[in-house]
Amino acid sequence: RKEVEQDPGPFNVPEGATVAFNCTYSNSASQSFFWYRQDCRKEPKLLMSVYSSGNEDGRFTAQLNRASQYISLLIRDSKLSDSATYLCVMFSGGYNKLIFGAGTRLAVHP
């Protein structure tokens, strides 16, 4: 089983839609969690960190569920510019390294 698993998508949604991605992880020792965004043929960039209490940044909301070992990303009022691949990333204390998911592709259409 992969340490971090994401639905590869693509998620095709119209502008204005709400879309949610989940990411499951297998190592309960995972300490820190992040969502990165990667545009086509570009480098990944940090979108937001994920805190135990959940956190929101504008139209983006991230949640962590340690009991079920998953994190989620909710995007409200989708924009065309949200089209990208979203990478789930966690820091594994057990392995002392960052582990990247393969990404979920989002395509927002007019």
Partner 1 sequence: NAGVTQTPKFQVLKTGQSMTLQCAQDMNHEYMSWYRQDPGMGLRLIHYSVGAGITDQGEVPNGYNVSRSTTEDFPLRLLSAAPSQTSVYFCASSQGQQETQYFGPGTRLLVL
Residues found near partner 1 in the complex (CB under 8 A): 4, 8, 31-32, 36, 41-46, 87, 91, 96-103
Query: In angstroms, what is the minimal distance from the CB of 97 to partner 1?
Result: 6
Query: In angstroms, what is the minimal distance from the CB of 46 to partner 1?
Result: 5
Task: Give 68 or 96: the residue with its C-beta nearer to partner 1.
Answer: 96
Alpha-carbon 97 to chain mean position: 18
Task: Give 80 or 98: the residue with its C-beta nearer to partner 1.
Answer: 98
Query: In angstroms, what is the minimal distance from the CB of 58 to partner 1?
Result: 18
Q: What is the CA radius of gyration of the chain?
A: 13
CA distance 96 to 99: 9
Please, what sign has the CA dihedral across residues 93, 37, 7, 66?
positive
Query: In angstroms, what is the minimal distance from the CB of 3 to partner 1?
Result: 9
Task: Give 4 or 19: the residue with its C-beta nearer to partner 1.
Answer: 4
Task: Give 3 or 17: the residue with its C-beta nearer to partner 1.
Answer: 3
